[in-house]
Amino acid sequence: MIKEPKRNDPCWCGSGVKFKKCHRARDVQPKENAWDAVDANRKAFSVKKCCAHDVGLGACQGSVIKAHTVSKGPNLSKIAKNGHVMQYVASIPEMKKNGGKLIAKKLGINDASIFHGFCGGHDRDLFSCIENEEFSGRPDQCLAVAYRTMSRELYGKDASAHLRETLRGADKGLTAFDQFIIQNMLDGFNEGNEAARREFKHTHDALTSALVAKRFEDISSIIFEFDAPLPFMFAGAWSPFTDIHGRELQKGHPDELLEQIFVSSFAGKSSAMICISWRSVENAPGQIIAGQLKELPDSRLASICLQFAMKHIENVFFNPDWFQYLDRKHKEHLNKLAADTIYELGGVPSVSLKMELDFQLPPSARSFEVHPRHSNVVEASPVQSP
Ligand SMILES: [Zn+2]
Ligand SMILES: [Zn+2]
């Protein structure tokens, strides 16, 4: 199948190392524990660096802290039971332990949704408008949320950049065919990750400069309001290839920078909000998706938003009581959607949203769009939902 290169030729796998020092006799080399390597890579996710360092947002203050991407006090604590929430942990070692299945795990809210991506000073100053004030869909709040979410996603892609090299030896002791499959899959993963990294960096830069200049109009949003609490919380961003019906939105050519959608949810005293944002550019995929969500029956909205978030982001947390009492059909669908986020490997996730599946969530009561105008006017324009 693969013509064996000469001993001193560069290896076929692209490592840049001579064949004799890389894949020659790989099939009889002792197996490496690839999962240890993946774990090591996950630790790279806890590398401490402030995303707002030296970008015009003032000097860093204090050391880099555990920053929450879903606010702990205002939000996570409201869905917690005895200080715990549930989350699907998309890790291969975890799946190995569970016989190939991805299952939700309990975790303490102090450790939920954290990343080491901001110094104490920036975390306090940039996000005070969402940490210390109730979320009301104000344009400055929408921008702060989008910026924090994008920072976390970019941080994750940066951490995954090492995975290709980390796993280059994962095929030791396997047949030539399996070596080829694995190296190919890793190349695919790496290509997807590098493309996402470029896109996310581009958007992160754009959001940073919007924050510096207080240009809240760079982000547009739609807010869905609920008159009862929701049993889940999420915050995340991704580049949508498809809309909520699975139809194509953007292609992802190697030279094209994709646009992202930002989703996050908030808890009030006895209410909730879901905020969907996008960069204010023409034909933004986020805007198209927001329009589709607005067309949904009020009773279906929360259920579809939950499935949509589950399918694309890791940062989804559940009230343990609610999650525990889900029946098998609903839980299995969530399991599948959660697994989709890690099978992506550069491709397009494939599980569809089930419009008919009823998670018995409160209906959306109202919605309003946030299209801030120039000259830093902070205002929201209420639009009644149909
Ligand atoms: Zn090689
Ligand atoms: Zn800082």
pLDDT tens, position by position, 218-248: 999 999 999 999 999 999 999 998 899 888 8
Distance 3 CA to ligand 1 centre (A): 13
Ligand sitting nearest the alpha carbon of 65: 2
Distance from the CA of 189 to the center of ligand 1, in angstroms?
17
Ligand 2 center–CA 84 separation, angstroms: 29
Q: Which of 150, 369, 156, 380 is nearest to 276 (CA)?
A: 369
Task: For residue 206, report the distance from its CA to the centre of ligand 2, in Å.
Answer: 18
Q: What is the H or E stretch that residue 245 is in?
A: none
CB-CB contact of 45 with 156 (8 Å): yes
Task: Give the pLDDT score at 54.
Answer: 93
CA of 46 to the centre of ligand 2 (A): 16
Q: 11: CA distance to ligand 1 center in Å?
A: 5
Q: What is the mean pLDDT of the chain?
A: 87
Q: Assign 380 a pLDDT band (cuts: 50, 70, 90).
A: very low
Q: What is the distance in A from the centroid of ligand 1 to the CA of 169?
A: 8
Under 8 Å between Cβ of 265 and 315: no
Distance 38 CA to ligand 1 centre (A): 19
Q: How far is the CA of 59 from the centre of ligand 2 (A)?
A: 6
**pLDDT tens column, 141-158:** 999 999 999 999 999 888
What global pTM score does this model have? 0.87
pLDDT at 92: 64
Q: pLDDT category, 379, cuts 50, 70, 90?
A: very low
The Å distance, Cα 80 to ligand 2 centre, comes to 29
Tokens in use for 221? 């949003």
pLDDT tens digit sequence for 118-142: 999 999 999 999 999 999 999 999 9
350: helix, strand or coil:
coil
The predicted model gives 26-42 an average pLDDT of 78
Residue 65: strand pairing partners: 118
**Residues 6 or more apart whose Cβ sits within 8 Å of residue 26:** 171, 172, 173, 174, 176, 179
Query: 239: CA distance to ligand 2 center in Å?
Result: 26
- Closest ligand by atom to 2 CA: 1
Residue type at 290 in one-letter notation? A
- 58 secondary structure, DSSP code: -
For 38-60, what is each residue's pLDDT tens digit?
776 667 666 889 999 999 999 99
**pLDDT reported for residue 386:** 42
What is the rounded distance in angstroms from the CA atom of residue 338 to the CA atom of residue 340? 5
Given a contact cutoff of 8 angstroms between Cβ atoms, the answer to whether 216 and 143 are in contact is yes
Kindly report, residue by residue over 171-214, the tens digit of the pLDDT. 899 999 999 988 998 888 888 889 889 999 999 999 999 999 99
**Gap between the Cα atoms of 313 and 61, Å rounded:** 30
Mean predicted confidence (pLDDT) in 315-320: 95
Spacing, Cα 286 to ligand 2 middle (Å)? 29
- C-alpha neighbours within 13 Å on the C-beta side of residue 229: 17
CA distance linking residue 344 with residue 72, whole number of Å: 29
